[in-house]
Amino acid sequence: MTVIVRAVRPDDRRDAEGFARVRALALPFMLHTPESVGYDVTHAHPGAHYRPLLAERDGEPIGTAQVGIVHDSPDPGQGYLNVYVAPNRLREGAGSLLVRAAEEHLAALGARKLFAWVLDSPGNRAFAEKHGYHAGRSAHFLRLDLATATLPPRPPLPSDVELRTGSDYATDPRPLFELDAETMADEPSDVAQEFTDYGAWLQETWNHPLFSPELTSVAVVDGRPAAFSAVRTDGGTRYGTVMTGTARAHRGRGLAKLAKTDSLHRARAAGLTEAFTGNDSGNGPMIAINKWLGYEICATEVRHVRELP
């Protein structure tokens, strides 16, 4: 009858299944599978001290937390904890126990500033405030029904642009890493990060079990990737965009819209039926592209922060 919190065991299939199941119930707008959970545990950067937590009641997983250090920031002492409890198991104490265990882990590693994404609802806001977290910027989850939506046609292809897929870079994905690093540097964020570790990118992005190079679209100018839309899938019918961006020198030409539209058309042709993406609420241009594609906002998260004493 007691709720307990413990670390996910890296090689335990049941732990990975339980973690993925709770996340799917609490956060259905993001893709998780037991394979991706296990991969994230075993392939996280050592400096992240990544520690996923599982809350159980009578052996049943009812809550999760992703916990770690922002290892690639030039500012030390920053950590994160993202806590999610199954909607039918709220108010059983799992959330508070997960927060406590996460904070203890991060404080022991020297973290003094903690960031947490919190789904926007009165109950969740009150929970965060109760634990000393203060609201900041927000971001939206968006959903597109690929099975029934009428996708707009691909925009005309400029004469100096060609479309490729991520698979075309299988032997040397570094050009995509360089484009990803440039676009990530301009993404809205609470934390300064230095995205320079190619090896870590290979582990966390390119080799991730959910990443789909086949459905990732790349707009190429003069032989170099100029814009892309990077994709994950769950191995079934669900599709998620994890990054869409354009190199600074090529912005304003509609290349991000071109890449994302191309990817969605190919995803539907491949039999995927449900697409998700996310946007910072202040990213008007990308929100406009997604609404043009037919996406609708389905949930909002608010970034919260707490300073430890």
Set out the domains of the chain in order of their start, with CATH numbers: 3-111 (3.40.630.30), 144-299 (3.40.630.30)
pTM above 0.85, yes or no: yes
- Which pLDDT score, from 0 to 100, does residue 247 have? 96
At 214 the three-state DSSP class reads: coil
Q: Which residues pair with 141 in a beta bridge?
A: 278, 299
Tokens of 101: 């265990």
CA of 236: how far to CAs of 29, 239, 277, in Å?
A: 15, 9, 17
Contact 190, 136 (CB under 8 A): yes
User: How confident is the model over 86-127, as pLDDT tens digits?
Assistant: 999 999 999 999 999 999 999 999 999 999 999 999 999 999
3-state percent breakdown (helix, strand, coil) of the chain, nearest 5: 35, 30, 35
User: How confident is the model over 8-54, as pLDDT tens digits?
Assistant: 998 899 999 999 999 999 999 999 999 999 999 999 999 999 999 99
Strand duo 113-119 + 134-145: pairing: unpaired
- Which pLDDT score, from 0 to 100, does residue 193 have? 61
DSSP of 51-85: --EEEEETTEEEEEEEEEE-TT-SS-SEEEEEEEE
